[in-house]
Amino acid sequence: MKTMTLLATLALAPCVSPLILGGVAVKAETPVLLPVKNDPTICFRIWFKVGSQNDPQGKEGLANITAAMLTDASTRINKYETIIDKLYPLAAAYDAATSVEMTVVYGRVHRDNLKAYYPLFIDAITAPAFEQSDLDRIKSEVLNNLENTLRYSSDEELGKAVLYSGIFAGTPYGHITAGTVAGVKSISLDDVRNFYKTHFTRENFVIGLGGGYSAALLASLKKDLGTLPAAGAAGPAAPNPAMPDGWHVTIVEKDAPAAAISMGFPIKALRGSKDWYALAVANSWLGEHRNSSSHLYQVIREARGLNYGDYSYIEHYPRGGMHSKPPQNVCRRQQIFEIWIRPVPLETGHFALRAALREFKSLVENGLTQEEFALTRSFLRKYVLHYAPTTMERLGYALDDSFYKIEGGHLARFRSMMDKLTLDDVNSAVRKYWQFGGMRIAIVTKDAAALRDALVADAPSPITYKTPKPESVLAEDREIAVFPVKVSPENVTVVPVTEIFK
Amino acid sequence: MRQYLTGLCLLALVFCAGSAAMAKTIFPYKVHTEVLPNGLKVVMIPMEAPGLVAYYSVVRTGSRDEVEPGKSGFAHFFEHMMFRGTKKFPGAVYDSIVTSIGASANAFTSDDITAYHLNFAVEDLEKVIDIESDRFQNLHYEQSEFQTEAGAIYGEYRKSITSPFSVLDEKVRDVAFDVHTYKHTTIGFERDIKAMPEAFEYSHSFFRRFYRPENVVLLIVGDIQPGRVMKLITKYYSGWQPGYEAPKVLPEPPQSAERTAEVSYAGKTLPIIDIAYKGDAFNPKNRSYVAAVMLGELAFGSTSDLYKQLYIKEQRVDVLDASIAMNRDMPLFEIVARVKNEDDLPAVRDEVYAAIASFQSAPVDPQRLANAKKRRTYGFLMNLDTPNKVAGNLAITLAITGGSDAINEYYTEIDNVTPDDIMNAARHYFVPERRTVVVLKGARQ
């Protein structure tokens, strides 16, 4: 019964008010409301329908920087340091998160402090000062992130960025949200002002409000956000990237201590459709994020001790190393399937790649067994309860529901679909959306030339261990070592790390 | 729905009590503590969280307890081994049970503790108690499994060491400490990680000495009834035999002079300076320690003059932060700055010293101190809205102090801190003879 109560919370919470999204399809401008009457805090998520896909050519990174110029900078009313001083005793803050298609300005405050907080929050959105010193500071940080942090301090994030750029090359999704070095360097205050006027408009946002807010607060938000600039430009069409024909490998050459691997291809399935939930079951079995139930984890980490973890995804999952549950408000109209192999010893990079692809091929060709299907859906039915325990997270999901137009809400549908799906549904979705034989692969490693040659030659990649392994593992290793993944020479690119994000 | 709201409502009532009185009883939930005859302490905190439970098994052993040479990183390694199962529930069976109940399960290790946590539906409480009590009493693994897991540890090390902050942390500890085990990071020295596969026998002694009921606290938070929980705990944990052997952690001798070092980072990074002072162990009743916590915010936090000068106006740094650690023994109180221009390193360092000197020479503005107290209080309370957050917030203080009163005592003491206390803390801790300064520079520019 207790569990039923919990489930009911997820399902019913968005249905308290007729304004609330989730019950019916709504216009994008309808506020997304999640009232929690006695919650002493108030959660704001103001979603602007703009993201890095809207960056003008040559100004990659402009959406991200414009958002930062709202929340990490002065307004026309207060200098940045004054804002910090005023927010400090409130134990409150606001920030902006930009992804490919969404920018969300969000914050949470205790209701005792709302009166002092609200003007700061609303000024950030409606009255940015756009001062040169703020732009200099923000650009400097973004450039440091691109030139130093991403290139050198996390090979996993680097590999993922290279993968995304490869899959979406030539489309508005083709650069990371932070942009490119040249793009960021070229951004001027006029660029920021123009971008703001074009995209942070009164026709281009959705109010997300949750917790113990009042009707008066909602009215104020509507009125105040109504002072934003008038309509601007429409966004680009969703990209339609081609499915990779064969193996396409980008090797990032650097003095890395280990080999980081990410690979994948575009998929059409989007959250909300039956196929998506069917695919979610197969994906959870193959590679549930940060979870030892992941089959790839069992094969590569648990049985062989090659790395810290191995996972797969059917939705964009930024900064996966930092989070154990999916993020909200990173929706996009085109998703990818992705396998993430955390850094393995350099000499085992080729082997680990083969091991992962071999498991993937087996799943694509054979599907899940009844037992695997039953266990995985049992897991997911309850595991999704952990996705959004807080009002802020549930509000994030409610906005996502608006993006994907999911009646009743994604989390509730996720659970109900676990009861409805059959093994055949899951395996049909696997065959429909996943393919073996065509994939983009990004590898961050040392000795790139040797790996390129080995991939092109499809050379065996035997593995040796310093400690004993069971015969069953060794026998499988012999198969993995010669598992065919032959890459055409023209499909392998070696890129020095200094060339990435230029 | 209603049950969920009640917990938050409680939170609201606490806020309404007013800040001065509030600090005396800042923790808004009733805490039930019981101790089994074998010494196992059970802390239960019912809160209205419809159907959800957070279950933390907190072992009061961390990398601090790795006293034997060559065994740094072992507490963390052992955390991994705890997922390898028992004869009753072998690793794969344990995993399948956790999977079947849709639990969110993980663990972490720090300087002082190792914590295993699961979040799950209350209907699965007995199943969780069954598998958790079993692995803490009857852990069993083969040598080959042990050696394979050592590879995963090395993988974790390799993924992390690409961060310049990891490289810096290794160096600062190594230079600042001579004999205390805080000399090494929690993941351990690389040479010791390489040697882990050879320590199979040692791992058994680690389990035997430290994984004992009197060294463990169970922290169970959420939609629970303490009476029912205790019946289950008694049923499943009473057979666990005591026998904890406290390690002989050598106290760090007093430092007599400043230490300095430089470390090279293999990649490209802006230079980073870490100015670390020997602090004090966490003690919620130690006014100096608590004042140092407030000093860290006031002198180097986002409202400090130094932050506004170096980060916002002059833009000479892109990171400035202070960390006043909460540890069982004497930790480092650290100030870290990432500097945009290498030539600016000495000047930034001197600006940090000047900021400290200003706090040593005059009491802080009382309004700034009041703001900092208000922020701490609201910040703490706003982060108690789920069982997992409540348990996560309490786990370290509970493990370090062994008791559940520490949080209330800590916030009471924060409320009592005066501007003079801040000045005294600046004079006591932030002096050259306690100081270690390490500069990290990238090898590639």
pLDDT tens over chain A, length 502 residues: 233 333 333 333 333 333 333 333 333 479 999 999 879 999 999 999 999 999 999 999 999 999 999 999 999 999 999 999 999 999 999 999 999 999 999 999 999 999 999 999 999 999 999 999 999 999 999 999 999 999 999 899 999 999 999 999 999 999 999 999 999 999 999 999 999 999 999 999 999 999 999 999 999 999 999 999 987 778 899 999 999 999 999 999 999 999 999 999 999 999 999 999 999 999 999 999 999 999 999 999 999 999 999 999 999 999 888 899 999 999 999 999 999 999 999 999 999 999 999 999 999 999 999 999 999 999 999 999 999 999 999 999 999 999 999 999 999 999 999 999 999 999 999 999 999 999 999 999 999 999 999 999 999 999 999 888 999 999 999 999 999 999 999 999 999 999 999 9
Would you call B148 and A91 a contact, using CB atoms and an 8 Å cutoff?
Answer: no
Same domain membership, residue A288 and residue A214: no
How many CA atoms are closer than 13 Å to the CA of A49, on its beta-carbon side?
Answer: 22
Helix (H) or strand (E) holding A428: helix A423-433
Do A32 and A161 belong together in one domain? Answer: yes
Considering the domain B259-442 in this protein, what is its CATH number?
A: 3.30.830.10
A54 CA: distance to closest CA in chain B (Å): 28
What's the gap in Å between the CA of B373 and the closest CA on chain A?
Answer: 8
Distance (Å) from the alpha carbon of A168 to chain B's nearest alpha carbon: 26
Cβ(A403)–Cβ(A205) below 8 Å: no
**How many domains are there within chain A?**
2
Where a domain ends, among A163, A193, A225? A225
Contact A154 B163 (CB under 8 A): yes
Question: Is A377 a domain residue?
Answer: yes
Instruction: Say whether A140 and B158 touch across the interface (CB within 8 A).
Output: no
What b/e sequence results for A352-375 when a residue is b if at least 16 CB atoms lie within 10 Å of its CB, and e otherwise?
Answer: bbbbbbbbbbebbeebbeeebbeb
User: Residue A469: closest CA among chain B residues belongs to which residue?
Assistant: B144
Residue at A7 is within a domain: no
| CATH superfamily placement of domain B2-9+27-237 | Metalloenzyme, LuxS/M16 peptidase-like (3.30.830.10)
Judgement on whether residues A206 and A320 belong to the same structural domain of the protein:
no
User: Are A176 and A275 found together in one domain?
Assistant: no
- Please report the ipTM that was assigned to this predicted complex: 0.91
B265 exposure class (CB count in 10 Å sphere: 0-12, 13-18, 19+): buried
Q: Are residues A181 and A274 in the same domain?
A: no
Q: Which residues of A touch B382 (CB under 8 A)?
A: 41, 91, 108, 110
What are the φ and ψ backbone dihedral angles of A271, each rounded to 5 degrees?
Answer: -50, 135
Please state, in angstroms and rounded to a whole number, the distance separating the CA atoms of residues A60 and A263: 24
Contact criterion met (CB < 8 Å) for A91 and B382: yes
Q: Are residues A170 and A263 in the same domain?
A: no
How far is A319 from B263, CA to CA, in rounded Å? 28
How many CB pairs (< 8 A) connect A and B? 235
Residue A358: domain span: 247-499
Whether residue A272 sits in one domain with residue A192: no
Chain A 445-474, residues with CB within 8 Å of chain B CB atoms: 465-470
| Domain shared by A84 and A205, yes or no | yes
Is B9 in contact with A38 (Cβ distance < 8 A)?
yes
Q: Does the distance separating the beta carbons of B159 and A308 come in below 8 Å?
A: yes
Task: Give the C-alpha distances (Å, rounded to integers) separating B352 from A101, A201, B164, B317, B340.
Answer: 41, 43, 21, 12, 16
Domain boundary among A192, A225, A258: A225
Could you tell me the CATH number of the domain that includes residue A392? 3.30.830.10
Which residues in chain B touch residue A156, judged by CB atoms under 8 angstroms apart?
A: 159
> Which of A166, A190, A225 is the C-terminal boundary of a domain?
A225
Read out DSSP for B302-329? TTSHHHIIIIIIS--EEEEEEEE---SS
Look at B95 and A321 and tell me if their CB atoms are within 8 Å.
no
Q: Would the CB atoms of B1 and A84 count as touching at under 8 Å?
A: no
Domain shared by A270 and A350, yes or no: yes
**Residues A182 and A69 both lie in one domain:** yes
Which residues of chain A lie closer than 8 angstroms to B221, CB-CB? none
Q: Quick check: A8 and B1 CB within 8 A?
A: yes
Per-residue model confidence as pLDDT tens for chain B (445 residues): 223 222 323 333 333 333 333 445 789 999 999 999 999 999 999 998 889 999 999 999 999 999 999 999 999 999 999 999 999 999 999 999 999 999 999 999 999 999 999 999 999 999 999 999 999 999 999 999 999 999 889 988 988 888 999 999 999 999 999 999 999 999 999 999 999 999 999 999 999 999 999 999 999 999 999 999 999 999 999 999 999 999 999 999 999 999 999 999 999 999 999 999 999 999 999 999 999 999 999 999 999 999 999 999 999 999 999 999 999 999 999 999 999 999 999 999 999 999 999 999 999 999 999 999 999 999 999 999 999 999 999 999 988 988 888 999 999 999 999 999 999 999 999 999 999 999 999 997 6
For residue A173, being part of any structural domain is answered with: yes
Parts of chain B belonging to CATH 3.30.830.10: 2-9+27-237, 259-442
Q: How far is B39 from chain A (nearest CA, A)?
A: 32
Same domain, A204 and A273: no
Smallest Cα–Cα separation from A258: which of B278, B161, B325, B320?
B161
Q: Which residues of B416-429 are buried (b: 16+ CB within 10 A; e: fewer)?
A: ebebebbbbbbebb
Of B97, B158, B149, the residue nearest B126 (C-alpha): B97
b/e for B378-411, b at 16 or more Cβ within 10 A? Answer: bebbbebbbbbbbbbbbbbbbbbbebbebbbbbb
A12 contacts chain B (CB < 8 A): yes
- Contact of A444 with A495, CB cutoff 8 Å: no
| pTM > 0.90: yes or no | yes
Give the pLDDT score at B4.
28
CB B58 within 8 A of CB B431: no
At what angle are helices A274-287 and A370-383 packed, to 10 degrees?
100
Is residue A323 in a domain? yes
Would you call A40 an interface residue with chain B, using a CB distance cutoff of 8 Å?
Answer: yes
Are residue A296 and residue A190 in the same domain, yes or no?
no
For residue A344, give how far its alpha carbon lies from the nearest alpha carbon of chain B (Å). Answer: 6
A333 touches chain B (CB under 8 A): no
List chain A residues with CB under 8 Å of B99.
Answer: 293, 375-376, 378-379
